[in-house]
Structure 1
Amino acid sequence: MSSPGMPTLPPAARVILASSNLKKLRELQRILTAAVPGLHTEQVISAAGIDLPEVVEDAVTFEGNALLKARAAARATGLLAVADDSGLAVDVLGGAPGIFSARWSGRHGDDDANNDLLLAQLADVPDAHRAARFVCAAALVDPRSGVPGAEPVEHVERGEMPGILLRERRGEGGFGYDPLFQPDGEMRSAAQLSPEEKDAISHRGKAFRALAAHIARRLPPQSPQP
């Protein structure tokens, strides 16, 4: 499970998120500890500081890219690994940015540039045609199948959050396209919701809650206390 330069993983750690994004880690910790009985925050760790191999996300679906990341983390650490691939699908753009959401402007992870480009592309689109949805594919890969020579156990779930795109940013919370996205049934943007409110309706919350039962089955019967 260890490799040169890789820190010793906490004994209580049982699930590794194949991402070093701290905001995504905090979100996942909230979702999973609420959904998986006996799972503690300290047991859900990120890939930050761990020398994981770089993953080329060359699949053409959210599900495919999520599995690529989870497989790489599971192979490198020997831990139960989870990953997600998420993005924004805009109806009038034929589902784009889709799997290219994080690098829509050409610079990966530049939220401001991505939002600016999307606003410009939709500037002349009337409100009635600004429907969109956030999509998340959440993948689990367990390399510890318990059967010598057996393939790792894999499972993928999908979640969606429908809504509309605003004409300007609203709110300071969240990340990505949250300031431009107003979920169905809300008068606020996703960036104006509290973390708990967003978790309850978000694409990532839905996908990982669906995955929670599969995670619980792969964990030891008695999770250690932090």
Structure 2
Amino acid sequence: MAAAPRLVLATRNEHKVVELRRLLAPHVPGLAEGDVVSVAGAVAAGLPDPGEVAETGVTFAENALLKARAVAAATGLPAVADDSGLCVAVLGGAPGVFSALWAGRHGDDAANLRLLLAQLADVPDAHRAAWFECAAALSGPGVEETVTSGTLHGRLARQPRGDGGFGYDPVLVPDGDVRTCAELTPDEKDAISHRGQAVRALVATLAPLLARGPETGR
């Protein structure tokens, strides 16, 4: 019988689950795949489904906390949620918290990219500064509620490049590089990414939580 999860990532995006597990693994010896699961993984393990959480916050931190609290309340387990997006200088920081909905349908990466690049088609290279921003929140029973953040600055390419990553990764070229985030290796991306920064800031809290065996003595 599989062991129960110990931490739920408040997302149904399996890309994020893989990425966050990879970030945690070096700090938690023996971390098993089933220790940290997505909402779908938690439901598959027999825990209640929190449903879709309305992201009504106006900042990444507010939305991350809303999701972490809702998932922790539903599952009874500590939960980590992140909220992240692309902020473009000439758009006044937009798409920002609306990044996943920019083209009108949640999570349609291709449509979001097409719309953004069309909106910036006439913007010269010198004014295409942008940054990824992420807030990560931990909430739940037996833990101190914590919010951390990370930022990755760069500039926008004129066409998507690269097959790695997801979201707006194919169009953001990090400062100091000529490749987009989607052209970086997973290790290279983890080392500089906004999500990597935010999660690493939570490691000191998460590592003891995940290393501690559950009541069964595991």
TM-score, with length taken from structure 1? 0.87
Deviation at 1:159, TM superposition (A): 0.3
- The 8 Å contact of residues 66 and 138 in structure 1, kept in 2 or not, is answered as yes
Q: Indicate if the aligned counterparts of 1:36 and 1:213 stay in contact, CA closer than 8 A.
A: no
Q: Measured at CA, do residues 189 and 225 of structure 1 come closer, stay the same or move farther in structure 2, by a change above 3 Å?
A: farther
Secondary structure, aligned partner of 1:116: helix
Structure 2, unaligned stretches of length 5 or more? 44-48
How far is 1:219 from its partner?
3.9
Residue 115 and residue 213 in structure 1: after superposition, are their counterparts in 2 closer, same or farther (change >3 A)? same
* Correspondences of 1:103-114 after superposition (within 5 Å): 103-114=101-112
How many correspondences in the alignment?
211
Task: Report % sequence identity.
Answer: 60
Mapped partners of 1:159, 1:117: distance in 2: 25
Structure 2 CA distance for partners of 1:225 and 1:198, relative to 1, 3 Å = farther
Rate the CA distance shift 1:134–1:48 in 2: closer, same or farther, 3 A: same
Give the CA deviation at 1:195.
1.1
1:97-152 Cα shifts (integer Å, max 9, x gaps):
0000000011110001100010011101110110100000000012235xxxxxxx
Of 189, 196, 206 in structure 2, the residue corresponding to residue 198 of structure 1 is 189
1:142-221 mapped onto 2 (5 Å cutoff): 142-144=140-142, 153-219=144-210, 221=212
What is the aligned partner in structure 2 of residue 68 from structure 1? 66
Matched with 2:90 is 92
| 1:87–1:102 contact (8 Å) kept in structure 2 | yes
Q: Distance in 1 between matches of 2:71 and 2:116?
A: 32
> What is the TM-score normalised by the length of structure 2?
0.90
Opposite residue 76 of structure 2, the aligned amino acid is G
Q: Distance in 2 between matches of 1:195 and 1:213?
A: 22
Tell me how far apart the structure 1 counterparts of residues 181 and 5 of structure 2 sit (CA, whole Å): 30
After superposing on structure 2, the runs of 4+ consecutive aligned residues of structure 1 that deviate more than 4 Å are 222-226
Structure with the bigger percentage of helix: 2
3-state SS, counterpart of residue 83 of structure 1: strand
Per-residue deviation at 1:222? 4.4
Q: CA deviation at 1:54?
A: 2.0
Q: Mean Cα displacement is larger for which, 194-203 or 28-37?
A: 28-37
Structure 1 segments unaligned to the other structure (5+ residues): 1-7, 146-152
Q: CA deviation at 1:34?
A: 2.0
